[in-house]
Amino acid sequence: MKRKLFLFDTHALIFWCNRQAVSDEFIKYFDKQDQLGNLLVSSISFWEIALLYISFLK
């Protein structure tokens, strides 16, 4: 049986981590997927988050 993998983009990752602007069901579901090792993050997300952080510091 194939595993279901989920690729998070930057927005989904930030909303999930901050627990804001998403439903409790979304949070619970992806917390479980994280525990199962089924979440992937786009490599560009780390660059985008760094840019957001830098712009926040200015």
Does the structure show a pLDDT above 90 at 1?
no
Q: Is 38 in contact with 5 (CB distance < 8 Å)?
A: yes
Q: Is 45 in contact with 13 (CB distance < 8 Å)?
A: yes
The whole-model pTM stands at 0.80
Percentage of the chain surpassing pLDDT 90? 90
How far lies 14's CA from each of 23, 42, 53, in Å? Answer: 14, 12, 12
List the structure tokens of 28.
Answer: 């619970």
The residue with greater pLDDT, 51 or 1, is 51
Under the banding of pLDDT at 50, 70 and 90, the label for residue 58 is confident
pLDDT value of position 53? 94
Over residues 6-31, mean pLDDT = 95
CA atoms of 36 and 22, how far apart (whole Å):
20
